[in-house]
């Protein structure tokens, strides 16, 4: 199974063309060509036996006349061999010659020997007969049955039919591959959080059934996603309404001289609840419905760095030259903001953002790094799962930040990689296609 070709087209060629051609050629040689050659050898052997019988009883005084009219020699030519010459390229010619010689020897008496003279030029058979009861070598023309008669044309015709079969298989495979390519593309879109659209169902019946089932699955997933988003929105609305009323009631009833610490703590908890609700909403909303816009990613990074600097968190910027490319601006801002917030929350110092273009792979690389405690020995892939957190003892966060970042990166056809930073700390690397 390891040696079997992987693609369906290659397997079709192997089964429909290669094996069928080999089988057809084997049947042709074994059941048609071999019996024909053996019959021709039997007929030729009967001629030789008749000739030998006549020459045996020929008077010695007539032997000279016969010798002059026929090529009869006492000694065999030096280039005459016991077996017919072989050719690795023209295997069919070797096969015919060998089959003919074997059949001829079976049909001749033991005292009548056969030798072959010549290879690619003029060829003759030397038969050791008996002239006046004395052994002599007689040269005879090689019968047509021992040559390529008709077989070369058959082989070329078989080769042409094989080429036609390959072309036909290619056309059929292209017709089958087109809907399968659409299906694979739609599946990749779903896996990255996008909307695949409706697949065409006008192909072959078997493929159309798969497309219909995929369309139903896609519609069910879209409906489930819409229901989830609506449910989270309703929950968020229902929770934020009493929160707003509670915050308003606390503001109106608070007395500056008493309970200031309690009011501040309560406000902090309300802000935490609001942040958690927003993270749930961000995770639920994939951003697939947002239209991509050709924009400058460096400008977005610089604006976010200015906002964080206003809050007292300075990011060192190292922005390489990146040509504008299409991305979803709101989703991209949410992704970068989550990573920068993580750097502030867990790293505190050594905050840095670097961007550059990998020209060979036509990719954009964005690295957000810090000099904190690093990944703490945790599995980077596990940290990208929902509700996993990079550090302990932090009062805020639900562990959805990196899950949101990875979902948005996949939505743009990119990847998220977490790694330890050289010299201490951690860095998050986003790779996006241009």
**DSSP H or E stretch at residue 83:** none
CB contact at 8 A, 60 and 136:
no
pLDDT tier, 106 (very low <50, low <70, confident <90, very high otherwise): very high
Domain ranges of the chain: 8-149, 286-433
- Beta strands (DSSP E) in 124-244 are 124-131, 134-141
Mean pLDDT across 217-235? 75
Mean pLDDT across 342-348? 83
Tokens of 208: 């159309």
The CATH class given to the 8-149 domain equals alpha beta
Taking the C-alpha atoms of residue 107 and residue 391, their distance in angstroms, rounded to an integer, is 94
pTM score of the predicted model: 0.47
pLDDT tier, 107 (very low <50, low <70, confident <90, very high otherwise): very high
395 has pLDDT over 50: no
**Residue scoring higher pLDDT (327 or 91):** 327
Mean pLDDT across 330-352? 86
CB contact at 8 A, 320 and 357:
yes
pLDDT tier, 236 (very low <50, low <70, confident <90, very high otherwise): low
Mean pLDDT across 354-372? 89
228 has pLDDT over 80: no
Mean pLDDT across 13-18? 70
Chain mean pLDDT for the chain:
79
pLDDT tier, 19 (very low <50, low <70, confident <90, very high otherwise): confident
For residue 337, the SS3 value is helix
**Residue scoring higher pLDDT (186 or 229):** 186
Taking the C-alpha atoms of residue 159 and residue 288, their distance in angstroms, rounded to an integer, is 53
Lowest mean pLDDT among 141-150, 266-275, 393-402: 393-402
337 has pLDDT over 80: yes
100 has pLDDT over 70: yes
Mean pLDDT across 187-207? 76
Number of helices (H), then strands (E), in the chain: 12, 12
Mean pLDDT across 230-251? 68
431 has pLDDT over 90: yes
298 has pLDDT over 90: yes
**Residue scoring higher pLDDT (290 or 406):** 406
CATH number belonging to the domain at 286-433, selected among 3.40.190.10, 1.10.10.10, 4.10.780.10, 3.30.565.10: 3.30.565.10
**Residue scoring higher pLDDT (64 or 349):** 349
CB contact at 8 A, 405 and 416:
yes
pLDDT tier, 63 (very low <50, low <70, confident <90, very high otherwise): confident
365 has pLDDT over 90: yes
């Amino acid at each position: 199974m390891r040696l079997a070709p992987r693609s369906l087209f290659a397997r079709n060629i192997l089964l429909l063309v290669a094996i069928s051609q080999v089988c057809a050629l084997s049947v042709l040689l074994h059941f048609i060509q071999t019996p024909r050659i053996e019959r021709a050898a039997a007929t030729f052997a009967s001629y030789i036996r008749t000739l030998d019988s006549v020459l045996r009883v020929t008077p010695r005084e007539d032997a000279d006349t016969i010798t002059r009219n026929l090529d009869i020699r006492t000694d065999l030519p030096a280039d005459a061999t016991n077996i017919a010459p072989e050719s690795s390229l023209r295997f069919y010619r070797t096969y015919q010659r060998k089959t003919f010689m074997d059949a001829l020897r079976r049909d001749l008496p033991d005292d009548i020997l056969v030798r072959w003279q010549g290879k690619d030029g003029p060829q003759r058979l030397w038969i050791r007969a008996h002239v006046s009861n004395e052994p002599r070598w007689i040269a005879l023309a090689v019968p047509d049955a021992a040559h390529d008669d008709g077989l070369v044309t058959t082989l070329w015709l078989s080769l042409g039919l094989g080429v036609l079969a390959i072309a036909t298989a290619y056309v059929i495979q292209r017709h089958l591959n087109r809907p399968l390519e659409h299906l694979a593309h739609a599946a990749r879109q779903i896996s990255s959080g996008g909307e695949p659209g409706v697949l065409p169902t006008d192909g072959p019946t078997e493929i159309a059934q798969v497309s219909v089932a995929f369309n139903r699955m896609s519609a069910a997933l879209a409906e489930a996603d819409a229901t989830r988003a609506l449910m989270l929105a309703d929950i968020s609305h229902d929770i934020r309404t009493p929160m707003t009323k509670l915050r308003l009631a606390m503001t109106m009833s608070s007395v500056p001289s008493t309970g200031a610490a309690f009011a501040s703590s309560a406000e902090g908890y309300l802000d935490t609840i609001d942040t958690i609700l927003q993270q749930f909403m961000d995770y639920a909303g994939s951003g697939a419905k947002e239209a991509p816009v050709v924009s400058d990613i460096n400008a977005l990074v610089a604006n976010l760095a200015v906002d964080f600097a206003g809050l007292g968190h300075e990011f060192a910027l190292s922005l390489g030259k990146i040509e504008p490319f299409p991305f979803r601006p709101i989703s991209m801002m949410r992704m970068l903001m989550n990573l920068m917030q993580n750097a502030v929350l867990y790293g505190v110092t050594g905050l840095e953002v670097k961007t550059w273009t990998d020209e060979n792979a036509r990719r954009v690389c964005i690295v957000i790094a810090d000099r904190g405690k690093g990944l703490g020995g945790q599995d980077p892939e596990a940290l990208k799962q929902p509700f996993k957190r990079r550090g302990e003892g932090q009062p805020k966060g639900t562990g959805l930040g990196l899950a949101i970042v990875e979902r948005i990166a996949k939505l743009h056809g990119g990847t998220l990689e977490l790694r330890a930073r050289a010299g201490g700390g951690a860095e998050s690397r986003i790779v996006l296609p241009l």
